[in-house]
Structure 1
Amino acid sequence: MIKARVTVTLKNGVLDPQGKAIEHALDGLGFSGVGSVRQGKVFDLELEGTDKAKAEADLKAMCDKLLANTVIENYSVTIT
Protein backbone atom coordinates (compact mmCIF):
# COMPACT_ATOMS: atom_id res chain seq x y z
CA MET A 1 0.00 0.00 0.00
CA ILE A 2 1.38 3.40 -0.99
CA LYS A 3 0.15 6.52 0.78
CA ALA A 4 0.36 9.88 -0.92
CA ARG A 5 -0.61 13.47 -0.29
CA VAL A 6 -1.45 15.83 -3.14
CA THR A 7 -1.45 19.55 -2.36
CA VAL A 8 -3.16 21.86 -4.84
CA THR A 9 -2.72 25.65 -4.72
CA LEU A 10 -3.60 28.54 -6.96
CA LYS A 11 -0.82 29.80 -9.21
CA ASN A 12 0.76 33.15 -8.38
CA GLY A 13 -1.21 35.96 -9.98
CA VAL A 14 -4.55 34.11 -9.86
CA LEU A 15 -7.09 35.97 -7.73
CA ASP A 16 -8.13 34.11 -4.58
CA PRO A 17 -11.48 35.48 -3.34
CA GLN A 18 -11.87 32.69 -0.78
CA GLY A 19 -8.44 33.46 0.66
CA LYS A 20 -9.38 37.16 0.84
CA ALA A 21 -12.64 36.26 2.65
CA ILE A 22 -10.69 34.15 5.16
CA GLU A 23 -8.24 37.01 5.67
CA HIS A 24 -11.10 39.43 6.47
CA ALA A 25 -12.82 36.89 8.75
CA LEU A 26 -9.60 36.36 10.72
CA ASP A 27 -9.28 40.12 11.17
CA GLY A 28 -12.91 40.24 12.35
CA LEU A 29 -12.13 37.54 14.90
CA GLY A 30 -9.32 39.64 16.34
CA PHE A 31 -6.37 38.05 14.55
CA SER A 32 -4.81 41.25 13.32
CA GLY A 33 -1.58 41.34 11.38
CA VAL A 34 -2.45 38.59 8.90
CA GLY A 35 -1.09 40.07 5.68
CA SER A 36 -2.29 37.60 3.10
CA VAL A 37 -4.16 34.30 2.95
CA ARG A 38 -4.11 31.90 -0.01
CA GLN A 39 -6.25 28.80 0.20
CA GLY A 40 -5.78 25.42 -1.40
CA LYS A 41 -6.81 21.81 -1.02
CA VAL A 42 -5.19 18.58 0.12
CA PHE A 43 -5.96 15.03 -1.00
CA ASP A 44 -4.73 12.00 0.96
CA LEU A 45 -4.76 8.86 -1.17
CA GLU A 46 -3.93 5.20 -0.62
CA LEU A 47 -2.85 3.29 -3.72
CA GLU A 48 -2.67 -0.47 -3.97
CA GLY A 49 0.66 -1.97 -4.93
CA THR A 50 4.22 -1.11 -4.04
CA ASP A 51 5.63 0.22 -7.32
CA LYS A 52 6.62 3.80 -6.46
CA ALA A 53 7.32 4.81 -10.08
CA LYS A 54 3.88 3.66 -11.23
CA ALA A 55 2.27 5.38 -8.25
CA GLU A 56 4.01 8.67 -9.11
CA ALA A 57 2.90 8.40 -12.75
CA ASP A 58 -0.68 7.57 -11.74
CA LEU A 59 -0.81 10.45 -9.25
CA LYS A 60 0.44 12.90 -11.87
CA ALA A 61 -2.24 11.67 -14.29
CA MET A 62 -4.91 12.00 -11.57
CA CYS A 63 -3.86 15.58 -10.93
CA ASP A 64 -3.71 16.49 -14.62
CA LYS A 65 -7.11 14.93 -15.35
CA LEU A 66 -9.17 15.63 -12.21
CA LEU A 67 -7.63 16.81 -8.97
CA ALA A 68 -6.13 20.09 -10.24
CA ASN A 69 -7.12 22.65 -12.84
CA THR A 70 -3.64 23.03 -14.27
CA VAL A 71 -4.57 26.27 -16.04
CA ILE A 72 -4.86 28.10 -12.71
CA GLU A 73 -3.50 25.64 -10.12
CA ASN A 74 -0.18 24.05 -9.20
CA TYR A 75 0.12 20.72 -7.43
CA SER A 76 2.74 18.79 -5.54
CA VAL A 77 2.80 15.08 -4.72
CA THR A 78 4.41 13.53 -1.65
CA ILE A 79 4.62 9.76 -1.30
CA THR A 80 5.08 8.44 2.24
Structure 2
Amino acid sequence: MVKVKVYVTLKESVLDPQGKAVSNALHSLGYEEVKDVRIGKYMELFIETEGRDAETVVREACEKLLSNPVIEDYRYEIEEALVR
Protein backbone atom coordinates (compact mmCIF):
# COMPACT_ATOMS: atom_id res chain seq x y z
CA MET A 1 0.00 0.00 0.00
CA VAL A 2 1.20 3.50 -0.78
CA LYS A 3 0.26 6.89 0.60
CA VAL A 4 -0.20 9.60 -2.01
CA LYS A 5 -0.16 13.29 -1.11
CA VAL A 6 -2.07 15.28 -3.73
CA TYR A 7 -1.77 19.07 -3.99
CA VAL A 8 -4.25 20.95 -6.19
CA THR A 9 -3.73 24.66 -6.86
CA LEU A 10 -5.21 27.25 -9.16
CA LYS A 11 -3.21 27.94 -12.31
CA GLU A 12 -1.12 31.10 -12.12
CA SER A 13 -3.32 32.78 -14.73
CA VAL A 14 -6.50 32.26 -12.66
CA LEU A 15 -7.55 34.90 -10.16
CA ASP A 16 -7.74 33.65 -6.56
CA PRO A 17 -10.30 35.76 -4.65
CA GLN A 18 -10.05 33.56 -1.55
CA GLY A 19 -6.27 33.96 -1.54
CA LYS A 20 -6.65 37.72 -1.96
CA ALA A 21 -9.06 37.86 1.01
CA VAL A 22 -6.59 35.96 3.19
CA SER A 23 -3.75 38.20 2.01
CA ASN A 24 -5.77 41.32 2.90
CA ALA A 25 -6.64 39.87 6.31
CA LEU A 26 -2.99 39.12 7.02
CA HIS A 27 -2.05 42.67 6.05
CA SER A 28 -4.73 44.06 8.37
CA LEU A 29 -3.14 42.02 11.17
CA GLY A 30 0.23 43.61 10.46
CA TYR A 31 1.85 40.90 8.32
CA GLU A 32 2.90 43.27 5.55
CA GLU A 33 5.80 40.98 4.57
CA VAL A 34 3.27 38.50 3.11
CA LYS A 35 3.17 39.49 -0.55
CA ASP A 36 0.74 36.96 -2.02
CA VAL A 37 -1.47 34.05 -0.96
CA ARG A 38 -2.77 31.26 -3.17
CA ILE A 39 -5.34 28.85 -1.75
CA GLY A 40 -5.37 25.20 -2.76
CA LYS A 41 -6.44 21.72 -1.70
CA TYR A 42 -4.48 18.92 -0.05
CA MET A 43 -5.60 15.29 -0.06
CA GLU A 44 -4.13 12.00 1.12
CA LEU A 45 -5.01 8.83 -0.76
CA PHE A 46 -4.11 5.33 0.38
CA ILE A 47 -3.86 3.03 -2.61
CA GLU A 48 -3.48 -0.73 -2.62
CA THR A 49 -0.66 -1.43 -5.04
CA GLU A 50 -1.78 -4.93 -6.02
CA GLY A 51 -3.32 -4.64 -9.45
CA ARG A 52 -3.13 -1.26 -11.18
CA ASP A 53 -0.13 1.03 -10.97
CA ALA A 54 -0.59 3.64 -8.19
CA GLU A 55 0.74 6.45 -10.37
CA THR A 56 -1.82 5.67 -13.09
CA VAL A 57 -4.64 5.60 -10.53
CA VAL A 58 -3.60 8.95 -9.05
CA ARG A 59 -3.19 10.65 -12.41
CA GLU A 60 -6.60 9.44 -13.61
CA ALA A 61 -8.30 10.42 -10.34
CA CYS A 62 -6.78 13.90 -10.47
CA GLU A 63 -7.77 14.47 -14.08
CA LYS A 64 -11.32 13.08 -13.71
CA LEU A 65 -12.35 14.20 -10.22
CA LEU A 66 -9.82 15.74 -7.84
CA SER A 67 -8.89 18.74 -9.98
CA ASN A 68 -10.47 20.89 -12.65
CA PRO A 69 -7.89 20.81 -15.47
CA VAL A 70 -9.25 24.02 -16.98
CA ILE A 71 -8.31 26.18 -13.96
CA GLU A 72 -6.20 23.97 -11.68
CA ASP A 73 -2.83 22.25 -11.66
CA TYR A 74 -1.97 19.27 -9.51
CA ARG A 75 1.10 17.47 -8.26
CA TYR A 76 1.54 14.44 -6.07
CA GLU A 77 4.06 12.55 -3.98
CA ILE A 78 3.96 8.79 -3.56
CA GLU A 79 5.45 7.14 -0.48
CA GLU A 80 5.17 3.79 1.27
CA ALA A 81 2.30 3.79 3.76
CA LEU A 82 2.37 2.38 7.21
CA VAL A 83 -0.14 -0.42 7.53
CA ARG A 84 -3.64 0.99 8.19
TM-score (norm 1): 0.91
Alignment partner, residue 74 of structure 1: 73
Corresponding residue SS for 2:53:
helix
State whether residues 7 and 42 of structure 1, in contact with CA within 8 Å, keep that contact through their aligned partners in structure 2: yes
What is the Cα deviation at residue 36 of structure 1? 0.9
Alignment partner, residue 82 of structure 2: none
Amino acid at match of 1:24: N
Corresponding residue SS for 2:35:
coil
C-alpha distance in structure 2 between counterparts of 1:49 and 1:9, whole Å:
26
- Structure 2 stretches of 5 or more lacking a match? 80-84
Between Structure 1 and Structure 2, which shows a larger proportion of helix residues?
A: 1
Alignment of 1:1-80 (within 5 A): 1-49=1-49, 54-80=53-79
Q: Give CA deviations for 1:45-75 in whole Å, capped at 9, x if unaligned.
A: 1111357x71000000100111000000000
State whether residues 2 and 50 of structure 1, in contact with CA within 8 Å, keep that contact through their aligned partners in structure 2: no
C-alpha distance in structure 2 between counterparts of 1:49 and 1:41, whole Å:
24
State the identity %. 48
TM-score (norm 2): 0.87
- Superposed structure 1 runs of 4+ greater than 2 Å apart: none
- Structure 1 stretches of 5 or more lacking a match? none
